[in-house]
Amino acid sequence: MIELKNVAYSYGGGALLSDISLTLAAGSFYFLTGPSGAGKTTLLKLCYGALQPTAGDVLLFGEDVAGLARDGIAALRRRVGVVHQDCQFLDHLSVAENIALPLDVSGRASAAADGDLNELMAWVGLTQRAEALPPELSGGERQRAALARAVIMSPDVVLADEPTGNVDWEMSQRLLRLLVELNRMGKTVLIATHDLSLIRAAKTQVQARVLRISNRQVQLAGADL
Amino acid sequence: MTVVRLDLRHLISGDRQANRVVPPSGVTAHLTIFAAAAMAFLAVFAMAMSLAAGRLAARWGDELAQSSTIRVVAPADQIAAQTQAALGILETTAGVAFARALDEAEQRALLAPWFGAELDLQALPVPQLIEMIEEDEGFDAAGLRLRLAAEVPGAFLDDHSRWRAPLVEAAGRLRLLGWISALLLGASVAAIVTLAARAALAANAQVISVLRLVGATDRYIAQAFIRRFSLRAFGGATIGVLCAMIAVAILPGASEAAGLLTGLSFQGWHWVLPLFIPPLCALVAFLATGVAARRTLGKLT
């Protein structure tokens, strides 16, 4: 799915990540953890082509990201769902339109897709809020809307950067359950988080692997935390 | 070129959704429309001036090139004899197609604007005028002057070229100025639209990053902006052109009394020309926004 070969990334002078080799297997569930500023977000951005590695190769679905033109990256984003901690929307469009946005920009909007949209809205529990504008949503609702938008194209991979950072424990459990369900449907899930209790909670539901960033390297943490 | 054609087709057919992803913007939109309208309005006048100057140059060139005048200045009792003598010389001059003395009524009409219609020509020492039309190959003006000086001392040749040439040149320059003005106005539209498009792109940075995140191509994003600005330029220019055409239409028309001025108004098929300004304006906006959008988007991830 996603393969990093000897990847390094440096901002300005300092190296943030160096010599990282990593393969995300299809259908698996990963956590990416590490202290703040260790490079979790940077690693995720490398995984969806928002950043180019300063050394090494990133292969997405077997294709080298460095060789992709801007339209190639756009096409790739349709196969990778991304959820940010502070997710952004088009504030002048309704929640439903925002969730359907990936369909519209890829020209796949249709009546059948509308059915999927309603189902997806029900799944994340936002049916009642379909016509609301994004600024009117609570933190938890925003995260669920972002998750719905990330998966409406039925991507193979879902990347989530601190998806539970702005919500309370109960809501983070709810988001986690949605992500676990996605994984059971066969999607590869990678969640960056520094919340160890979230990881523990997940381990009771799914076989999750934990990647830890320390000293500019990524290590596969043991089964125990 | 293919890209441009595809984009143009999209532009005309329109994509409601692509248009909606960029939030509506009030003031910028009105300013762009106003600027396009003002530029188009001025362009119509620049065009009218150019065409009028062109007509003027052509008329002065054609009508005056072939004709000359001879003035016979002599004491009243000799004037008829000298006129006959001058006409005699002209008949034998190679290159003169036709010559005739103006009669009293014509001379009075020429002087009427200055002295009034009731003028008695007999009371004034008015020179007799002889109008001559030359053949295409022209005549030897210097030779004719020498012959007149020798045989008819009161006759002077005026071949018009002395005062005609600078006027024709001035009219030509005026026409050139008109076209340069039109070009500058077009460039101004491009500059204004570029500035407005850049402002819009900067103001919508969040929209653009969201669209990129969910997999929109640069073309999809650019389309929304290009379509918007092209339509604004087209709409504004249409308003400006219509106002200007009405203004030109109600200008006082060309008349005999106006003499040298043929009037600024369009004539005949020239009325069609201003109608090309709105599509041209839209094309300029289309290209300017396209360049601005591609440049801005290229810098984003």
Which residues of chain B make contact with A82, given a CB cutoff of 8 A?
213
pLDDT for residue B64:
66
Looking at residue B244, what is its pLDDT? 92
Nearest CB to A71: which of B211, B217, B298?
A: B217
Asked whether residue B152 carries a pLDDT value surpassing 80, the answer given is yes
Flag if A106 and B215 touch (Cβ within 8 Å).
yes
The answer to whether residue A142 neighbours chain B at the CB level (below 8 Å) is no
Closest CA relative to residue A88, chosen from A73, A103, A98: A98
Provide, as residue numbers in chain A, all residues whose Cβ is less than 8 Å from the Cβ of B21. Answer: 90, 93, 101, 104-105
In this complex, is the C-beta atom of B209 within 8 Å of any C-beta atom belonging to chain A? Answer: yes
The pLDDT score that the predictor gives to residue B12 is: 55
Distance of CA A71 to the CA centre of its chain: 20
**What are the helix and strand counts (H, E) for chain B?**
10, 4
- Out of A177-191, B170-184, B253-267, the most confident range is A177-191
User: What rounded mean pLDDT belongs to chain A?
Assistant: 88
B2: confidence class by pLDDT, cuts 50, 70, 90: very low
* A77·B207 Cβ contact <8 A: no
Distance CA B182, CA B170 (A): 18
- Please give the residue of chain A at the shortest CA–CA distance from B204: A90
- Residue closest to B47 by CA, chosen among B287, B288, B240, B236: B240
Q: Does A91 contact B at CB distance below 8 Å?
A: yes
Buried b / exposed e over A133-161, threshold 16 CB at 10 Å, is: bbeebeebbbbbbbbbbbbbbebbbbbbb
pLDDT attached to residue B250: 83
Q: A153 CA to chain B: closest CA distance, Å? A: 9
The pLDDT value recorded for residue B257 is 46
Going by pLDDT thresholds of 50, 70 and 90, the confidence category of residue B52 is confident
Q: What is the mean pLDDT of residues B76-105?
A: 83
A116 within 8 A of A152, measured Cβ to Cβ? yes
Q: Which of B90, B226, B83 is nearest to B155 (CA)?
A: B83
- The percentage of residues in chain B with a pLDDT greater than 90, rounded to a whole number, is 13
B180 to chain A, closest Cα gap in Å: 40
Q: How far is CA B68 from CA A153, B110, B159, in A?
A: 86, 16, 4
Asked if B24 lies within 8 A of A92 by C-beta distance, the reply is yes
Query: What tens digit of pLDDT does each residue of A50-73 get?
Result: 888 888 899 988 888 888 888 888
Query: What pLDDT band is residue B150 in, cutting at 50, 70 and 90?
Result: confident
pLDDT at B121 over 80: no
Q: For residue B236, what pLDDT is reported?
A: 94
Please, what is the average pLDDT of chain B? Answer: 81
Q: What is the pLDDT of residue B15?
A: 57
pLDDT of residue B301: 63
What CA–CA distances, in Å, run from A181 to A58, A184, A185?
A: 27, 5, 6
CB atoms A89 and B213 under 8 Å: no
Asked whether residue B43 carries a pLDDT value surpassing 60, the answer given is: yes
Q: Do A74 and B23 touch (CB under 8 A)?
A: no
Instruction: Choose the mutation target among B3, B6, B213, B299 for the interface with A, i.e. most A CBs under 10 Å.
Output: B213
Interface contact A78, partner B, CB < 8 A: yes
Is B20 within 8 Å of A93 when comparing Cβ atoms? yes
Chain A residues within 8 A of B10 when measuring between CB atoms: none
Contacts of A74 in chain B (CB under 8 A): 212, 215-218
Per-residue pLDDT of chain A (225 residues; tens, 9 = 90+): 888 988 989 888 788 888 888 888 888 999 999 888 888 899 999 998 888 888 889 998 888 888 888 888 888 888 899 998 888 999 999 999 999 999 888 888 777 778 888 888 988 889 999 999 999 999 889 999 999 999 898 899 999 998 888 788 888 898 899 899 999 999 999 999 988 888 998 888 888 889 998 888 888 876 544
Burial class (CB in 10 A: 0-12, 13-18, 19+), B68: buried
| Torsion of Cα atoms, B193 then B182 then B30 then B202, to 10° | 10
A114 at interface of B, judged by CB pairs closer than 8 A: no
CATH of the structural domain A23-49+68-220, one choice from 3.40.50.10490, 3.30.300.30, 3.40.50.300, 3.40.1350.10: 3.40.50.300
Measured in angstroms, the CA of B222 and the nearest CA of chain A are apart by: 12
Written as six digits, the tokens of B267 are 């004539």
Mean pLDDT of B196-225: 87
Residues in chain B closer than 8 A to A104 (CB atoms): 17-18, 21
Residue B73 has pLDDT above 70, yes or no: yes
Q: What is the pLDDT of residue B259?
A: 44
Q: What percent of chain B has pLDDT over 70?
A: 87
CA A41 to mean position of chain CA atoms: 10
pLDDT of residue A136: 93
Other C-beta atoms lying within 10 Å of the C-beta of residue B122: 8
Contacts of A94 (CB under 8 A, 6+ apart): A130, A131, A132, A133
Q: What is the mean pLDDT of residues B20-35?
A: 82
Query: Residue A74: closest CA among chain B residues belongs to which residue?
Result: B215
Q: Please indicate if any CB of chain B lies within 8 Å of the CB of A109.
A: yes
**Selected residue with higher pLDDT from B40 and B74:** B40
Nearest residue, CB atoms, B210 vs list A78, A90, A106: A90
Residue in B20, B215, B297 closest to A77 by CB: B215
The answer to whether B213 contacts chain A (CB < 8 Å) is yes
Question: How high is the pLDDT of residue B37?
Answer: 94
Quickly state the pLDDT bin for B254 (edges 50, 70, 90). Answer: low
Interface contact flag, A91 B23, Cβ < 8 Å? yes
For A53-65, give one letter per residue: b (16+ CB within 10 A) or e: beebebebeeeeb
Interface check A106 vs B, CB under 8 A: yes
Give this complex's ipTM. 0.85
